[in-house]
Amino acid sequence: MAKVTGLDGIVAAETDISLVDGEQGHLIYRGYWAKDLAVSKEYEEAAYLLWFGELPDEARLESVRNSLQSKRELPDRIRKLLEALPATMPVMNVLQVATAAMSDDTPAWPPTIGQAVELTALLPTIVTYWHRKQLGLPAIEPDARLGHTANFLYMLTGERPNPAHVKALNAYLVLGMEHGMNASTFASRVVLSTQSDMASAVSAAIGAMKGPLHGGAPSEVIAMLDAIGSKDHAEAWIRGVLGRGEKLMGFGHRVYKTRDPRAEALREVTEALSGNDPWFDLAVQTEQIAVALLEEYKPGRRLYANVEFFAAAIMRAIALPTALFTPAFTVARVVGWTAHLLEQAEINRIFRPQSVYTGPQPEQQQR
């Protein structure tokens, strides 16, 4: 019997939250194209859509903004926990520990929107607090006058962020919010299905996200863009890579067999911001040249830029340290996780898949 691994193609749940269609290149959030949301909506609007199933009117949008702003400050208990942890601990480990510690604040079952808001509001604060601690810098308190994305950048540096950087990062965070029944989402739903609490389920999701096969950072794409340096060098550099039979980082995707809709949205944002940052200019030119050369060297393979390619340009433009790439992805994805957890609670049944025993049988007893 062939071994069955990975659960590829196995349906684990029905969901109203998102559709990921790799063959068609579709990513849909609650009936809306995710790429349109990324280009035209704020983080808070997309979060409201995933949590409540509809886009907010102005009054509801203001309400969710205020709710997120009011929950940004670290509770004393979590601050003391962070102060006690060794400064060498990686950010993702810190996020997982701090999130698990938040489970004492709320009743275990059922999960609530309020818990989802609190987790979403606090994760950027934890990330920035820890980053600055590792640099030997004081923490920067959140600014209630700023939106979710702008405040995240502000807490990293203490400086008012460039509006072009805010817009680009906002698009990235919206596109990172949700992506179907991926490993971290499945891990969170499994934990919650036992009637554990939301914070524990999100902590489990973070544990899955920090694995390099799931939440891997686009650092190799940044290294590629750094090596290219300018658009004038792009064609020769890419021809060298393809001529040697090496992989071109940031192109192709396991799920999407056509253009990655997330990359399409980030390209649109990046193109619109060209002229505001040299890294946006370089990314746009490099992507155009690379797609043409991939078709020349690998005809019919349909290799296009994936989300990591344009994410790398954004991360490089905002000067986000490599160690914070996966934490930033986590700051985005917590909305999708919590939306799935609220959905799981409504129809809950504990996950209990079967396995096939392939080990030896005990020796037959002599009669």
| pLDDT at 14 > cutoff 80 | yes
Domain assignment of residue 38, yes or no: no
What is 115-165 written as a DSSP string? Answer: HHHHHHHHHHHHHHHHHHHHTT-------TTS-HHHHHHHHHHSSPPPHHH
Specify whether 118 is located in the same domain as 237: no
Whole-number pLDDT of residue 257: 65
CATH of residue 244's domain is 1.10.230.10
Specify whether 87 is located in the same domain as 203: yes
CATH of residue 141's domain is 1.10.580.10
Average of per-residue pLDDT values in the chain = 89
What is the tens place of the pLDDT at every residue in 25-40? 789 999 999 999 999 9
**Higher local confidence (pLDDT), 66 or 168:** 66
Q: Mean pLDDT over residues 308-336, rounded?
A: 89
Q: Mean pLDDT over residues 45-67, rounded?
A: 98
**Higher local confidence (pLDDT), 317 or 198:** 198
| Residue that is last in its domain, among 272, 298, 317 | 317
Q: Mean pLDDT over residues 3-20, rounded?
A: 80
Residues 6+ positions from 207 with CB-CB distance below 8 Å: 96, 187
Q: Which two tokens stand for residue 208?
A: 């899955």
Active site residue 308: yes
* Exposure class string for 82-96: b at 16+ Cβ within 10 A, else e: beeeeeeeebbebbb
pTM score of the predicted model: 0.88
Amino acid at 236: A
The span from the CA of 227 to the CA of 310, in Å, is: 16
What are the CA-CA distances from residue 214 to residues 20, 159, 206, 305, 363 (Å)? 16, 32, 10, 18, 42
Whole-number pLDDT of residue 330: 96
Domain assignment of residue 331, yes or no: yes
Percent of the chain with pLDDT over 70: 93
What is the tens place of the pLDDT at every residue in 190-246? 999 999 999 999 999 999 999 877 766 567 788 888 899 888 899 999 999 999 998
**Higher local confidence (pLDDT), 303 or 197:** 197
Specify whether 211 is located in the same domain as 252: no
Specify whether 311 is located in the same domain as 163: no
What is the tens place of the pLDDT at every residue in 120-146? 999 999 999 999 999 999 999 999 999
Specify whether 231 is located in the same domain as 244: yes
Specify whether 117 is located in the same domain as 207: yes
Whole-number pLDDT of residue 107: 66
Domain assignment of residue 117, yes or no: yes
**Higher local confidence (pLDDT), 215 or 42:** 42
Q: Are 241 and 290 in contact (CB under 8 A)?
A: no
| pLDDT at 167 > cutoff 60 | yes
| Residue that is last in its domain, among 317, 333, 354 | 317
Specify whether 289 is located in the same domain as 339: no
**Higher local confidence (pLDDT), 215 or 247:** 247
Whole-number pLDDT of residue 317: 82
Specify whether 95 is located in the same domain as 201: yes
| pLDDT at 274 > cutoff 80 | no
Q: Mean pLDDT over residues 148-165, rounded?
A: 94
Residues 6+ positions from 265 with CB-CB distance below 8 Å: 34, 35, 36, 38, 39, 171, 175
| pLDDT at 281 > cutoff 80 | yes
Specify whether 122 is located in the same domain as 208: yes
Whole-number pLDDT of residue 106: 60
Specify whether 278 is located in the same domain as 251: yes
Percent of the chain with pLDDT over 90: 63
Whole-number pLDDT of residue 323: 87
Specify whether 338 is located in the same domain as 204: yes
Residue of 253, 264, 287, 340 marked active site:
253
How many distinct structural domains can be found in the chain? 2
Whole-number pLDDT of residue 314: 84
Q: Are 89 and 16 in contact (CB under 8 A)?
A: no
What is the tens place of the pLDDT at every residue in 69-113? 999 999 999 999 999 999 999 999 999 999 999 987 666 789 999
Domain assignment of residue 14, yes or no: no
| pLDDT at 155 > cutoff 80 | yes
Whole-number pLDDT of residue 71: 97
**Higher local confidence (pLDDT), 75 or 252:** 75
Domain assignment of residue 366, yes or no: no
Residue of 42, 44, 308, 343 marked active site:
308
Whole-number pLDDT of residue 219: 72
The span from the CA of 69 to the CA of 146, in Å, is: 8
Specify whether 227 is located in the same domain as 295: yes
Active site residue 287: no
- Domain that includes residue 172, residue range: 68-75+83-216+322-346
**Higher local confidence (pLDDT), 28 or 319:** 28
